[in-house]
Amino acid sequence: MGYQRRSSPLHVVRAAVGSGLCCALALVALLYDDPLVLSAALAAALAAGALAGVGRALRRTLLLALPFALVIALINPLVTEQGVTVIWRFGELPLLGQRDVTLEATVYGLVLALRALALIMAFALFSAVVDPDRLLRLFRRVSFRSALTATLATRMVPVLQRDGQRIADAQRCRPGPPPSRLALVRAVTSGALDRATDVAAALEVRGYGAARRPPRGDWREPWSRHDRAFCAAAVVLALLAVGGRIAGVAGFEVYPSLATSWSAATVLFCLVLAVVPLLPFLDRRGIADPPPGGRTPRAPARDAVALRDLAPAARELRTPARDASAPPVWEAAR
């Protein structure tokens, strides 16, 4: 999945703030083992995605991530021998020896799966709502060329995908047996190199070769209400996560035996964690309503410019002057 432009408060904030919110969600998932807290982080990411208008994309990512999470949940009890509550004995297995499945290892597998889902969703949200151009602009001062290379790579992914689809269609139009895989790989590579050459030429004529560093601090982008709101939400979320961890809120011990400290406070803590990142969505001032279909309509065709005078005064034909002396030859090595 990639960046999807939508009319939402989260889409209009600066890249640093959008990234910060997603990082705060990821931080929650990394700091806690408690399934309630992890579920709260996962729910917050999904709800933020839905409120930002990228819920469908996040749902698709979730469906793709579920098998991965399932594998984690299944493998952990098979490879971990910690825990005291045995719920299944495999007996003596070849190469692996004696294998016992414990309740604690099974629960921890589920916790790991839940954490993986929460992290994946936090980064899926980041990918869908943070404009890569804005993000890379943050890094330009550090390394302009690296940032541009990353931008180009991002931009070329859909272009090369379309190229690949076109080549596949063209090969389906060939009568007779299809060409070998090697020939196809060569064709695709050759096409990508052609593209790269064209892009390099375009970069040159846009002045990339003479790129200069922008002046420092000449003009700063003003902080909008949405910037402030999401920044505050991200900071509060991060402080809650770190503070709660230090204070031992939502403690969850798996090994050697399960020990939870679930209480009303834990539930309240989880509710706060889930709601804080969503509060800035309540303010939609300055956000345009999304157009039908989610895309900006095309501009009407511009009026034709009036025809020029069709009978211009006759021009004297230009004859280039020629010198007798031959000009010097200059060899350009590349």
Partner 1 sequence: MSEPVLRFDRFTYRYPGAPGPALTELSLEVGEGEFVLLAGRSGGGKSTLLRAGCGLVPHFHGGAVAGELTVAGLDVRDHGPGELAAVVGTLFQDPETQVVMGTVRSELAFPLENRGESRAAVARGVEEAALALGIAHLLERPTHELSGGELQRVALGAALAGRPRLVLLDEPTSQLDPVAGDELIGLLRRLNEEWGTTVVLAEHRLERCLTAADRVLALAGGILACDAEPGAFLAWAAESAPALQTPGASLLARAGLRPPPVGVKAARATLRSAGALDPLPEAEEAAIVERHRTETSREDKVTLPPTRGAAPRPDSPPKHRFRGSRADANAALRVRDLWVEPPAGPTILRAVELTLRPGERVALMGRNGAGKSTLLRHLAGLQQPTRGSIDAAGRVALLLQNPNDYLVHEQVRDEAPRAALALAGLADHADRHPRDLSGGERQRLALAIVLGGGLDLGGPAAGATSAPAGAAAAPAASAPASARGDLPAVLCLDEPTRGMDRTHKAELARLLDRLAAAGTALLVATHDPEFAASFAQRVVLLGDGRPIADGPVAEVLAGGWYFATETARILGGAAGALDPVSGAALIRARLAARAAAPARSPMPARSPAPARAPAPAAPAPPAPTPTEAPR
Residues making up the chain, counted from first to last: 334
The burial of 199, by beta-carbon neighbours within 10 Å (0-12 exposed, 13-18 middle, 19 or more buried), is given as middle
Closest CA to 105 of 129, 72, 133, 130: 72
Q: Is 219 in the site for partner 1 (CB under 8 A)?
A: yes
Q: Is 142 in the site for partner 1 (CB under 8 A)?
A: no
Q: Measure CA 326 to chain center.
A: 59
Is 99 in contact with 78 (CB distance < 8 Å)?
yes
Shortest CB 101 distance to partner 1, Å: 44
Measured from the CB atom, the residue of 248 and 327 that comes closer to partner 1 is 327
Shortest CB 202 distance to partner 1, Å: 4
Beta bridge partners of 84: none
Q: Is 296 in the site for partner 1 (CB under 8 A)?
A: yes
Shortest CB 325 distance to partner 1, Å: 9
Is 51 in contact with 129 (CB distance < 8 Å)?
no
Q: Is 320 in the site for partner 1 (CB under 8 A)?
A: yes
Closest CA to 101 of 72, 74, 78, 84: 78
Closest CA to 69 of 103, 36, 112: 112
Identified binder of partner 1 from the candidate list 89, 166, 228, 284, rule CB under 8 A = 166
Q: Is 172 in the site for partner 1 (CB under 8 A)?
A: yes
Q: Rounded distance, CA 186 to CA 76, Å?
A: 42
Per CB under 8 A, the segment of 113-121, 235-243, 267-275, 314-322 that binds partner 1 is 314-322
Shortest CB 105 distance to partner 1, Å: 44
Identified binder of partner 1 from the candidate list 67, 91, 92, 174, rule CB under 8 A = 174
Measured from the CB atom, the residue of 90 and 208 that comes closer to partner 1 is 208
Tell me, by CB under 8 A, how many residues bind partner 1: 84
Identified binder of partner 1 from the candidate list 97, 158, 256, 286, rule CB under 8 A = 158
Indicate the DSSP class of residue 324. Answer: S
266 to 295, contacts with partner 1 by CB under 8 A? 295
Structure tokens at 199: 């892009």
175 to 214, contacts with partner 1 by CB under 8 A? 175-176, 179, 183-184, 186-187, 190-191, 194-195, 198-214
- Strands 97-102, 86-93: pairing is antiparallel
Measured from the CB atom, the residue of 175 and 248 that comes closer to partner 1 is 175
Q: Is 95 in the site for partner 1 (CB under 8 A)?
A: no
Measured from the CB atom, the residue of 44 and 130 that comes closer to partner 1 is 130
Amino acid at 130: V
